[in-house]
Chains A and B, each alone.
Chain A
């Protein structure tokens, strides 16, 4: 259940987060946080050109609760790792920058009016673009279907590309490359997260039991592939997942150390007694649209199973070791031991989840090709088709399964040039696969040759760069930013804050219900008002002019 959406299938309020790898080849040793801030700054310049009012807005931190644990407690601040304190604005003020880098660096950089580098933006499409630790991160707006996740996640890659182009055109600054991957192969990993809205009434233990076997094995269709084994990539080889070797525990609050298969961060960004936001940190960043689509679509289906109490009853022996064993087995023939003594392959396990999800979706009616919810039928079809191809026709699967597409390219090089897995050119193919520039990124070279299947067309992705989804509160947030940007002083997932000239105080509009603030509910309001003052008066039921 996610508010008013059809229950039992693949529809749900959800969103993606992508931390991009960042690299300036001509400026080795450049500070990563500073470079990331330049990326945000560059995109702010792009949006200023696009909208005269300035379509960028600061982030409002008042509802961030990174230390709330879904198991029912809150971590003491004094015991938290510094990078868990994500509720404090990472403002690089002028003084800190000057101390760290000297005045010239500061002067070379664009500052906004208040003298701080912009580290955080809310975009007109409802997304958030900001500096997270030492990476630029794009958090997509909330959407309700796997297809829309693919569109607004890919829109983030275009946002990042626009910033890269802007920096490349600036003779004063070193060009910056961004990579949609998850590791530098030198023991560092950075995340690509998924967020799913769930009713709070679902016991967290059910989520852990239901999701763990699924998460151990879903990588066989949504892994992005990685050259190198172990966290530091020191053992030559190829594995299915970018992230698997970085996971060390089954359940936990951390996201940067002792990474858990199930993350317990409990910041609902919504009415807390009704919802939880399940924060999933185990996935790979996907360029393949099908892989991304299945990652979100099948996970949403499994959450529907868990909510109905219908998740398959099976437990994998030592899930962390199993996760890595699956990732290291590109033949897909290794077997996992279940606690009941059975030994089954990752494909077998996925089929068990598929059968349960298909049956539940049939029973609830959402999977009907005509009268269903319009999404679940397609997700189930692609899920089963991909599992079938993985077993019987890997060449066909390579047009949708990202780790196989990358592997076929690598095998081409190995065959033609006689390369061993440790050869640097193969490492470069892996890295450059994820370069977000279409002329350099190897995924995009395959896409241009129609070797990768599409879920959404380029026009839809392009629209998603500037347009918010119509059917969540992201519509309200995005429209407020692009229409009234000059009068919006802050926004977050669950608020928009206005500072309207002539009014004595800031006005914070809460958006605690993810399925309100939609085009259906607020489109008329936006159509009637070009000015923030009257818009707010009508929205808040104030007398005109107040």
Chain B
């Protein structure tokens, strides 16, 4: 594909000072565990909502063409 040279997600400049979603800035201890607790709660809730057979459900979601 043309334009390969534009695709360089890994080659970050060293001085770039941005956060990556997986590694939010470390807050104070108490906040950190509260935040983790919030994520755990959320994932627990979503575990109960997700369709039961992930592989089969995703495979069966087949669409016809659209715009």
Interface of A with B (CB < 8 Å)?
A: 19, 21-23, 25, 28, 32-33, 83, 132-135, 179, 183-186, 188-191, 193, 255-256, 281, 317-318, 321-322, 324-325, 328-337, 391-395, 398, 404, 407-409, 411-416, 424-425, 427-429, 431-432, 439-440, 442, 445-446, 449, 451
Contacts and interface: CB of A to CB of B under 8 A. Distances in A.
B60 A23 contact: yes
Contacts of B3: 317-318, 321-322, 325
A138 to B, nearest CB: 13
Given A191-B66, A333-B9, A416 B43 contact: yes
B65 A395 contact: no
B54 A398 contact: no
B9 A425 contact: no
Interface string B21-55: 11011000000000000011011011001110011
The binding surface of chain B is classed by DSSP as loop
Given A331-B9, A331-B12, A395 B19 contact: yes
Given A186-B62, A333-B12, A427-B58, A392 B18 contact: yes
Contacts of A404: 21
26 contacts: A22-B63, A25-B51, A32-B63, A33-B64, A83-B65, A132-B67, A133-B65, A134-B65, A135-B66, A184-B61, A186-B63, A188-B66, A190-B63, A191-B67, A322-B3, A322-B6, A331-B12, A333-B9, A333-B12, A392-B19, A425-B50, A428-B54, A429-B46, A429-B50, A431-B61, A445-B45
Contact of B54 (A19, A184, A337, A427): A427
The binding surface of chain A is classed by DSSP as mixed
A439 B46 CA distance: 10
Contact of A325 (B6, B55, B57): B6
Contact of B8 (A25, A334, A409, A416): A334
B3 to A, nearest CB: 3
Contacts of B5: 337
Nearest to B19: A394
Nearest to B17: A392
Contacts of A329: 7-9
